[in-house]
Amino acid sequence: MRGVVKTLMLLALAVALGAPARAEPVKIRIGWVVAPASLVPILFSEPGVAKHLGQSYTFDPVYISASPAHITAIAAGDIEVAALNFASFPSAIENAGLTDLRIVCDELEDGYDGYATAQYMVRNDSGIKTIADLKGKTVAVNGIGTGVDLGLRTGLLKGGLHYPGDFNIVEVPFPNMTPLLLEKKVDLVTEALPFMYDAKLNQEAHTLLTLKDGLGGAELSFWVMRKEFIDKNRPVVVDMLEDTVRAYRWYHDPANHEKAVEILSKFTKIPADRLDWAFTKRDNYRDPDGIVDLAALQRNINAVHALGFIKSDLDVSQYADLSLVKEAAARIK
């Protein structure tokens, strides 16, 4: 009997030594700017949405205040996924030399088919009624070279104002925009969600122009990854994108609206009754399949080129790999 037990133990040890070790989940750090424009910090808050999380990958949201800073972060290897836009992406290619970046998933589109668009707002008592009235004034954006910065410059250029020369630009984080405007420390601010629906702001200020006025709709945020990481971890990336698409659809399903708003309220510390606009047409648009509108992005980048922000033409199709998110979306019934 003792010999049988010994034999079984040896067999078990042999099997254990011969079995391949289970791979550790791949760490994916992803940058985000502001919620709920970005769903990243709450993306997988609903149990059961992320079916692959913790198995093939881990998901680590990293707050980075403006998209140009995402370029530095992904170049340094501090994040695996950067949230860029039509302004920061060509800068990453041309100025930072990150020609291995690949566009993989849509995050946010501005002004799409009646959905929300960023607002450039001035105080009611400022005397600013037209774009021309901004000459010599100070405007605030969340970062030089961001999408809303270039959209503002494009809109003001249509109204006859040039930068530099005709107005000043300062950088202000989105949460600080409204206080600075109402305290008369700047003349125009960039209001994104959720801040543009602030009741006091809308009592004391009004919209002078919108991002859609400037660009006619914009690919305001999309995810990019480096080709080497994708090639090394393609099945994992598809798993993560599958969970992402499932989360997009869950948040925008009217049947989940109340619970989705509760999740957002808990994260932002904003009362739920002030967030009823979220995940409706008063919100920005998110493609339910995560597909980036490359044609719109190309138009946006052409506008950036016309401003002189980038020197060369850029064909975005050379830097996109939407096959990943298409495969991911096809898995979901």
Q: Which of 31-35, 95-99, 100-104 has the highest mean pLDDT?
A: 100-104
Q: Has residue 7 got a pLDDT over 90?
A: no
Q: Has residue 9 got a pLDDT over 70?
A: no
1 alpha carbon, distance to own chain's centre? 66
Q: Which of 81-85, 195-199, 301-305 has the highest mean pLDDT?
A: 81-85
Q: Do domains 26-109+218-331 and 119-215 have the same CATH topology?
A: yes
Which helix (H) or strand (E) segment holds residue 240: the answer is helix 227-252
pLDDT digits (tens, 9 = 90+) for 241-290: 999 999 999 999 999 999 999 999 999 999 999 999 999 999 999 999 99
Please give the model's pTM, rounded to 2 decimal places. Answer: 0.81
Q: Are 143 and 149 in contact (CB under 8 A)?
A: yes
Tokens at 191, concatenated:
């209001």
What integer pLDDT is reported at residue 4 of this predicted model?
A: 45
Secondary-structure class of domain 26-109+218-331 per CATH: alpha beta
What integer pLDDT is reported at residue 171 of this predicted model?
A: 95
Question: Nearest-CA neighbor of 81 among 103, 98, 65?
Answer: 103
Q: Domain-by-domain residue ranges, the chain?
A: 26-109+218-331, 119-215
What integer pLDDT is reported at residue 230 of this predicted model?
A: 98
* 228-266 as b/e: b if 16+ CB within 10 A: ebbeebeebbbbbbbbbbbbbbbbbeeeeeeebbebbbe
Binning pLDDT at 50, 70 and 90, where does residue 159 land? very high
What integer pLDDT is reported at residue 136 of this predicted model?
A: 97
Give the CATH H-level superfamily of domain 119-215: Periplasmic binding protein-like II (3.40.190.10)
Q: What does the mean pLDDT of the chain come to?
A: 91
* Rounded CA separation 305/296 (Å): 14
pLDDT digits (tens, 9 = 90+) for 173-202: 999 999 999 999 999 999 988 899 999 999
Tokens at 45, concatenated:
């808050």
